Amino acid sequence: MKGIILDGYALNPGDLSYEGLLSLADFTVRDFTSPDEVYDLCRDKEIVITNKVPFDRDLISRLPQLKYIGVTATGYNIIDTEAAREHQIAVTNIPAYSTDAVAQHVFAFILSISNQIDLHNRSVKAGDWDRSPAFCYWKAPLFELRDKTLGIIGLGNIGRQTARIALSFGMKVLSCSPHSVMEGVRSVTLDEIFSDCDIITLHCPLTEATRALVNEEQLQKVRKKVILINASRGPLVDPNAVIKALDEGKVSYYCADVLETEPPNNDRLAMHPKSVITPHIAWAPKETRERLLGILIENLESYLNGGKLNRIV
């Protein structure tokens, strides 16, 4: 069978081996693929591996050889799944591969603010410590996590791991989620998350119900300055509402690994002095990508053997 990896660079910029995948089919490997190349590259392929390259109804209808699409991510909104079903094309995704990495990234955000490591590192390198009359100094308030209240919106795998880490720091943890609660975590309403928490972190899927979940109405309920973290989906927040809350001091920092538009192209929220933005790398530790690649291989192997491992369609 002939296959193609359309945008492999993010998964494997050269530090992983495709050997296990290449043993399953005759693959062409592309680091990047532009939209105008997709049809010509895929028209004779039975297997396509994609991360961000979309497959809409029109494209799917013009690829009669295509039998399998492997999405190298948990979200699969880039695929018109109804069209894939109509054309009897199998679609798989990669669930629960990045739980530890994303929860770790959330706490990297939190600790970067609580201890202001980057600010003080830059200060020392600028000579401020040499000039200080005191044996130590701090250029911004520092705070302990113990007894701070963390609000988690969405208590799936990542939300639960985030809660476990928070509890180990001695934090109080509240959650608003359709999932059942876990030991040490108190279930509350969305309004209580915004009114009662020191830090709020988003771990829910993007649906029509959750789009702009963080909006001006909700942010008006904040009673103390909060740190807002989004390592889930960019459109979960209304960027204008968050900018306003940052300017008013209701939100002290907005930390995000995801944006409504990526890359940001001078996005106002991304460039705000009180935002801390990383370029969608919560999933990028080598061990996490190795796990993703392993699941990708298992998915394809299952399909070739008549199985349905991680089948969406």
Q: What is the pLDDT along the chain (313 residues), one digit of tens a residue?
A: 999 999 999 999 999 999 999 999 999 999 999 999 999 999 999 999 999 999 999 999 999 999 999 999 998 989 999 999 999 999 999 999 999 999 999 999 999 999 999 999 999 999 999 999 999 999 999 999 999 999 999 999 999 999 999 999 999 999 999 887 899 999 999 999 999 999 999 999 889 999 999 999 999 999 889 999 999 999 999 999 999 999 999 999 999 999 999 999 889 999 999 999 999 999 999 999 999 999 999 999 999 999 999 999 9
Q: What is the pLDDT of residue 289?
A: 98
Active site residues: 233, 262, 280
Tokens of 177: 């989620």
User: What is residue 313's predicted lDDT score, i.e. its pLDDT?
Assistant: 96
Paired strand residues for 251: 226
Instruction: Please give the pLDDT value at position 75.
Output: 87
Q: What is the pLDDT of residue 127?
A: 98
Q: Which CATH architecture describes the domain 99-277?
A: 3-Layer(aba) Sandwich (3.40)
Backbone CA torsion sign across 214, 217, 218, 221: positive
CB under 8 Å to 82, separation ≥6 — which residues? 57
Cα→Cα distances 279→42, 169, 282, Å: 29, 27, 9
Within the chain, all domains assigned CATH 3.40.50.720 are found at: 2-97+286-304, 99-277
33, 41 Cβ separation under 8 angstroms: yes
CA 117 to chain centre: 23
> How far, rounded to the nearest angstrom, does the alpha carbon of residue 177 sit from its chain's CA centroid?
18
Query: pTM for the full model?
Result: 0.93
Handedness of CA 59, 62, 64, 65 (dihedral sign): negative
**Under a CB-based contact definition with an 8 Å cutoff, are residues 179 and 185 in contact?**
no
Class of domain 2-97+286-304 (CATH, top level): alpha beta
Check residue 224 and give its pLDDT.
84
- Residue 303, helix vs strand vs coil: helix
User: DSSP label at 37?
Assistant: G
283 close to 94: Cβ distance less than 8 angstroms: no
